[in-house]
């Protein structure tokens, strides 16, 4: 029987991808672990591996196709494994392609990944998908009978507390599909386990946007640059975050002359060893240590409770062509300044070349965005889930201040902490900023 290879979900937020290149052709025999294609996501270009074997019978989506929805069949194998038992099978209703773009708007997104994803060969291989969830087994809980159901249908049934053994499927060969679950969902009450795993509510359909012409802009007076995957994802996620997360800013001014002196001394002393610490490296370290002093700020909101993280995984915004990405310095509180500097340089370089591995930019516990190098004095950022806080750092500049009841000049820097109010209250945010100020204005405290 034939086996469909589907477009994998290479990140939790991925809804579509570009099929950049095929590394196989019709008639080739492929084996598990073989790299078969390159997929462009909103963040990186990833190689994907097959997880089954067979002969390539058909390439359903051409190389270069854009906007291929997750779970859309992209190739078909001829083999002995039945579709209902293969991890490569997805629940889809393929649509015709138009202009190289696959149209499959009715496909529902599911976290299941049809293929194993790897980083480019020069960086080594990796697998982004965890092992199969035993709760989504194809076996019936009533016995040893195997129930033919799509991964999405099984997940929906688990969340809604629906017994698949009592359903008759409408899919090929009697397979239970999404439509069958939706037909009975109104009659089923979610189980306690299902409620814990319930999918987020469907996003509200935005109001129809007016065209520029409808708003008075003359036709032909502008150039329209199509949205790429990164810009689409940024627009969607930031809209959701700004709309759905109750957040508030806290701003303080810091005197950074001691920090600048400490940086100059470190770089001068260790120049022969190739050490070159930036102000941003010192800020990353100070954030990590401040999160250890105020662990309530190192938290994420979940429907089941507040997650208090064990380590300070600092996600640092890096501008790249077409948008930005936030590579993560893991457990930054445990690393020295030289290690943080070297790691950030490597992450930033690979981020700009879109060569980061998914685990290098997914997750994290705290966000940091530094616009000081662009001369921005002060700004506030939109929270980036699952982080409870994001810090916005402005430029250091000479300012007149009052010190010991006398007018003086000092190098000052404004920082704004934007807090997810579901996680971090004002008092917690203020406590974190107090600890952060201590490390910035007295850098020697970072050595304790």
The secondary structure of the chain, three-state, reads CEEEEECCCCCCCCCEEEEEEECCCCCCEECCCCEEEEEECCCCEEEEECCCCEEEEEECCCCCEEEEECCCEEEEEECCCCHHHCCCCCCCCCCCEECCEECCCCCCCCCCCCCEEECCHHHCCCCCCCCCCHHHCCECCCCCCECCECHHHHHHHHHHCCCHHHCCCCCHHHCECHHHHHHHHHHCCCCHHHHHHCCCCCCCCCCCCCCCCCCCCCCCCCCCCCCCHHHHHHHHHHHHHHHHCCEEEEEEEEECHHHHHHHHHHHHHCHHHCCCCCHHHHHHHHHHHHHHHCHHHCEEEECCEEEECCCCCEEECEEECCEEECCEECCHHHCCHHHHHHHHHHHHHHHHCCCCCHHHCCCCCEEEEECHHHCCCCCCCCCCCCCCEEEEECCCEEEEEEECCEEEEEEEEEEEEEEECCCCCHHHHHHHHHHHHHHHHCHHHHHC
Q: Give the active site residue among 310, 374, 387, 421.
A: 421
Is residue 317 a contact partner of residue 324, using CB atoms and an 8 Å limit?
yes
From CA 134, how far away is CA 142, in angstroms rounded?
A: 15
- Distance from C-alpha of 127 to C-alpha of 137, rounded to nearest angstrom: 21
Distance (Å, rounded) from C-alpha 22 to C-alpha 40? 12
**Catalytic residue flag (residue 421):** yes
Q: Are 83 and 89 in contact (CB under 8 A)?
A: yes
Instruction: Return the closest-CA partner of residue 90 out of 76, 105, 103.
Output: 76
- The two structure tokens encoding residue 39: 């997929």
| CB distance 437 to 280 below 8 Å | no
Taking the CA atoms of residue 189, residue 192, residue 194 and residue 199 in that order, the dihedral angle to the nearest 10 degrees is 100
User: Which residues does the annotation mark as catalytic?
Assistant: 421
């Amino acid at each position: 029987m034939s086996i469909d290879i589907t477009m994998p979900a290479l990140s939790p937020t991925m809804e579509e991808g570009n099929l950049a290149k095929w590394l196989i052709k019709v008639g080739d025999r492929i084996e598990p672990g073989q790299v078969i294609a390159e997929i462009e996501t909103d963040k990186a270009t990833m190689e994907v591996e097959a997880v089954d074997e067979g002969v390539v019978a058909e390439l359903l989506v051409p190389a270069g196709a854009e906007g291929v929805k997750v779970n859309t069949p992209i190739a078909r194998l001829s083999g002995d494994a039945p579709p209902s038992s293969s991890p490569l099978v997805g629940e889809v209703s393929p649509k015709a392609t138009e202009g190289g773009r696959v149209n499959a708007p009715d496909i529902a997104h599911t976290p299941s990944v049809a293929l194993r994803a790897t980083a480019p060969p020069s960086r080594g291989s990796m697998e982004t998908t965890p092992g199969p969830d035993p709760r989504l087994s194809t076996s019936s809980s009533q016995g040893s009978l195997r129930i033919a159901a799509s991964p999405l249908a099984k997940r929906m049934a688990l969340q809604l507390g629906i017994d698949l053994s009592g359903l008759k499927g409408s899919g090929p060969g009697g397979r239970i599909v999404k439509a069958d679950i939706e037909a009975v969902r109104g009659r089923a009450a979610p189980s306690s386990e299902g409620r814990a795993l319930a999918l987020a509510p469907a996003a509200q359909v935005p109001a129809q946007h007016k065209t520029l012409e409808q708003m008075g802009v003359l036709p032909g007076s502008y150039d329209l640059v199509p949205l790429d995957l990164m810009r689409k994802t940024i627009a969607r996620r930031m809209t959701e975050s700004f709309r759905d997360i109750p957040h508030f800013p806290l701003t303080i001014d810091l005197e950074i002359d001691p920090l600048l002196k400490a940086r100059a001394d470190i770089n001068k002393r260790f120049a022969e060893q190739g050490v070159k610490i930036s102000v941003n490296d010192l800020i990353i370290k100070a954030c990590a240590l401040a999160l250890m002093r105020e662990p309530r700020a190192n938290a994420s909101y979940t429907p089941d409770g507040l997650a208090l993280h064990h380590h300070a995984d600092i996600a640092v915004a890096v501008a790249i062509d077409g948008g930005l990405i936030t590579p993560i310095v893991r457990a930054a509180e445990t690393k020295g300044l030289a290690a943080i500097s070297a790691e950030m340089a490597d992450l930033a370089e690979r981020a700009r070349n879109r060569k980061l591995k998914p685990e290098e930019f997914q997750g994290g516990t705290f966000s940091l965005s530094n616009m000081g190098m662009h001369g921005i004095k002060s700004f506030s950022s939109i929270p980036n889930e699952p982080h409870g806080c994001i810090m916005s750092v402005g430029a250091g500049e000479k300012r007149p201040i009052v010190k010991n009841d006398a007018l003086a000049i000092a190098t000052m820097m404004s920082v704004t902490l934007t807090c997810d109010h579901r996680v971090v209250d004002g008092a917690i945010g203020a406590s974190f900023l107090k600890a952060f100020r201590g490390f910035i204005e007295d850098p020697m405290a970072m050595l304790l």
